[in-house]
A and B are shown apart, each in its own frame.
Chain A
Amino acid sequence: MKRSRSLALGVAALALLATACTSSGSGGGDADATGGTIRIWTHVNKSFNKAYGELADAYMADNPGVTIDFETFDYDTYIQTLQTSLPAGTEADVLQMFGSWTCSYSTNLASVPGSVMSRSEAEKAYFPGPLGGYLCEDQLYGLPQESNIEYGATLVNTAMAGAAGVGLDGWDSFDDFKADAKKLTVTEDGVITRAGYHFTTNDGMAYTFLSLILQNGGSYLSDDGTFSFQTPEAQASMELMKSFVTDGIVDPTLFTDTTNWVGDCYFTELCAMGLVGPWVVPEYSADFPDVAADTVYVPLPTLENPSFAADSGWGLTVSSNSQEQDLAWDFVSYVAANDSNALQWNIDTGTLPALAANAKGSGAKELLSNAAYLEPFLGILGNAQYLGSLPDRDRLFYKIIVPNTLDVLTDQATVDEALAKMEQEANQL
């Protein structure tokens, strides 16, 4: 009895100590309109960190009593840190968050105060694709900074296109697109040695499939969270994807995620066109300057509906445990809701804007003067539709959609069989 009492006292002392450490660690204390300290957690990314740092310096210069401390973690560590610290309540005041993660953590996040931005104001200010990730059960839990786009436009090698007589004005239909892709394909002894259009990576297949369902006028996720893939729209989408293989434009066994990933494939000139987001261009430009100089993006053709599936983007949220919520929201708003600051962040990081105002007029001009290849995306950002609040996005993509799609593309299963399996597996998530 005596021993258990001492143990209980010990635990209580430790808990008190932990609480003391936690509250002092949240940077709390003297929060008022003129001063205070906030901590910000972000993942390690040179250009992102630099852009945040510059905006924080400017904010501190405008608000002399404010101190902003950054703590960065490499990507994997950041995910684990969020997973463990949010339930424990030891997180920083401001947390960089990818949109599609936000709802998983919403119980520990503060919703955006009406004084900062109401939901209807946010819907007017931001594109629906990035904003969707920050909306959880009708509440807004953060402000997006970028539009993460993996579908909607394709990389095109202008030198190859010129040599094959392919124009760069875009395509009216998938038949036109496939005809040009076929012209760009090189086949020797029945083997595709240069793919006309490479979309058979994991993300490429998943985004194409979901986007084509939307463009065919269908949907894959109902309001009650049930997945439907046994629909005429899903069938038409899968058959269109399969036709790229049967028409000899791409071979899904030679051009995959592990062999000839689309960035490698395109920049080593084994693919003439490829489906991947614009972030790939700065990533490869230094090593392949000649190919980068011949690179443009061209919008993909659309079906009856121009929508396509997109996975939100990076943005900022505020912890519900923060002792400095007013200050934290003020800074988040300064970074992500102020047009010129948000634009500067997009320019510095090479990302597409989440704020609609920055995709047109002088904002767009400034953005394109730094990265002209982004131009085709600016016109289609409004068509990006958030993927939806998925129970497990990675498992849906990489364990369900991708393997079943590959089964169809490699003749391991019929379209009907694959869609039935996909629906059954998705509804087990």
Chain B
Amino acid sequence: MTADTSVAPGTQRAARGIDAPQRRFRWSVLMPSVGYLLFFTLLPIVWVFALSLFSYSPRREGAGLGGLGGDNPFVGLDNFRLMFDFSGSSQLAETFRLSVVTTLIFAFIVLPLNLLITLPLAVMIESVARRLRPLLRTVFFMPVLASAVAVAVIWQYVLNPQYGLANALISKVTGHVTAIAWLNDPNITVLGVPVALGAVTVAYLWMDIGYNLVIFIAALQGIPRSLTEAADLDGANAWQRFWLVTLPLLRPTILLTAVLTMISSFQAFDLFQVMTVGGPDNQTRVLSLDIYENAFRFQSMGWAAAESLVLLLIVLLITLIQARLLRTKWSY
């Protein structure tokens, strides 16, 4: 192998001369975004990993790098051990486990309800007169554009026990003064689900369905008409066309929306923070809220960091399942 040994020195210099400015250009273009990612994404992640191994609170002076050490001692994996020590009686760990269960209940209620509402709604919108479709799409997509805090405040007013719309309607129908504390009464449950959690779920669905709706509408518009026309020629009725043709072709979209909805419901925070602050009796304490409170209200950063890593693992697991389920061997 003697390649390139005969290249003239002048040519090599020329090659270096061209490469150097290119290299500088590449670096100058890349460095801002790489620096940004390193500083604002990678460093915080590394810091969270480090914090999770300490009993760290910024209220304590600590010692060493970033106050890790001293009064903020290294505890290794103790935070994680405590979380999963079911025989222990730590209030922090009990609240964590409760918040994981609440998050799972919330996510598994939101997911089917979201799909059961958005898919038929998308089919309905696609089947109405063409002129009406943009209007309906806009109406249903509008809540997605609203700030979550604004949505929470609106629903707080709707569900206010004294002057809320919900109780006013019930009072009107029953003829009695009704003051159901939708967001505060720990004793009201529906099918075993606390009514406060149900109330936040309704607000969340109202805010969130527009997003999945546009995905389904786009998927429906992408199904070739020839396939439904072929089903027509074979004598299929509307229901059979939907069940045997449209629905199977929507499978990748259903899986995509299911996983996206699941992940976003695991990360739900704003509505809970504004509408219930985790109450009543911790019935709406989801994991994101527990992390926030421990980190920024009670300054238990080490514990909160460990909790956020568990949340990360849960979301990661769902993403992996998504990657596996979304694999399809066919296309149209």
Q: Which residues of A contact B (CB under 8 A)?
A: 80, 83-84, 86-87, 104, 107-108, 188-189, 191-193, 251-254, 256-260, 270, 392, 394-395, 398-400, 403, 406-407, 410-412, 424-425, 428
Contact = CB atoms under 8 A, between A and B. Distances in A.
B252 interface: no
| Residue of A80, A188, A191, A424 with most chain B CB atoms under a 10 A cut-off | A191
Nearest to A86: B61
A410 B183 contact: no
Interface of B: 58-59, 61-62, 67, 89-92, 95, 156, 160-162, 176-179, 181, 183-187, 275-277, 279-282, 297-299
B186 A412 contact: yes
A83 B177 contact: no
A411 B187 CA distance: 8
Q: Across chains A and B, which 5 residue pairs bring their CB atoms closest together, nearest first? A: A253-B181, A253-B185, A189-B177, A191-B179, A188-B177
A80 B91 CA distance: 26
| Residue of A258, A394, A428 with most chain B CB atoms under a 10 A cut-off | A258
Contacts of A256: 181, 184, 279
A399 B92 CA distance: 10
A83 B279 CA distance: 29
A254 B95 CA distance: 24
A410 B187 contact: yes
11 contacts: A189-B176, A191-B177, A193-B177, A253-B186, A254-B181, A256-B279, A259-B184, A399-B91, A400-B91, A406-B279, A428-B89
A5 B176 CA distance: 82
B281 A403 contact: yes
A384 B59 CA distance: 27
Contacts of A191: 177-179
Given A191-B178, A407-B281, A428-B90, A260 B162 contact: yes
A410 B178 contact: no
A389 to B, nearest CB: 14
A83 B59 contact: yes
A392 B298 CA distance: 8
Nearest to A424: B89
B25 to A, nearest CB: 28
A253 B177 contact: no
B162 A254 contact: yes
Contacts of B184: 252-254, 256, 258-259
A258 B276 contact: yes
A260 B275 CA distance: 13
A83 B58 contact: yes
Contacts, number: 88
Nearest to B162: A270
Contacts of A425: 91
Contacts of B178: 189, 191
Task: Name B's interface SS.
Answer: loop
A108 B61 CA distance: 9
A218 B84 CA distance: 37
Contacts of A270: 162
A84 B58 contact: yes
B186 A80 contact: no
Given A107-B61, A428-B91, 17 more contacts: A80-B58, A84-B58, A188-B177, A191-B178, A191-B179, A253-B181, A254-B184, A258-B275, A259-B160, A259-B184, A260-B161, A395-B298, A398-B297, A403-B282, A406-B281, A412-B187, A412-B281
Given A84-B58, A189-B177, A428-B91, A394 B183 contact: no
Nearest to B298: A395
Contacts of B280: 253, 406, 410
B91 A410 contact: no
Contacts of A410: 185-187, 280-281
A83 B71 CA distance: 14
A222 B90 CA distance: 22
B67 A87 contact: yes
Contacts of B187: 253, 410-412
Nearest to B67: A87
Contact of A254 (B58, B67, B91, B179): B179
A392 B176 CA distance: 45
A33 B310 CA distance: 58
A428 B176 CA distance: 47
A351 B178 CA distance: 40
B301 to A, nearest CB: 11
| Residue of B58, B91, B281 with most chain A CB atoms under a 10 A cut-off | B91
A259 B282 contact: no
Contacts of A83: 58-59, 299
Contact of B162 (A107, A193, A257): A193
B82 to A, nearest CB: 11
Contacts of A395: 298
Nearest to B299: A83
| Residue of A193, A259, A399, A407 with most chain B CB atoms under a 10 A cut-off | A259
Contacts of B90: 428
A304 B95 CA distance: 37
A399 B279 contact: no
A296 B79 CA distance: 50
B65 to A, nearest CB: 12
A391 B44 CA distance: 28
B298 A399 contact: yes
Contact of B277 (A188, A258, A411, A424): A258
A258 B183 contact: yes
Nearest to B89: A424
Contacts of A394: 297-298
Nearest to B179: A191
A193 B95 CA distance: 33
A257 B280 CA distance: 11
| Residue of A252, A256, A400 with most chain B CB atoms under a 10 A cut-off | A256
Contacts of B279: 256, 258, 406
A326 to B, nearest CB: 26
A95 B297 CA distance: 22
| Residue of A251, A254, A428 with most chain B CB atoms under a 10 A cut-off | A254
A104 B58 CA distance: 11
A108 B59 CA distance: 12
Nearest to A407: B281
A398 B275 CA distance: 17
| Residue of B90, B92, B156, B279 with most chain A CB atoms under a 10 A cut-off | B279
B206 to A, nearest CB: 20
Contacts of A411: 187
Contacts of A403: 281-282
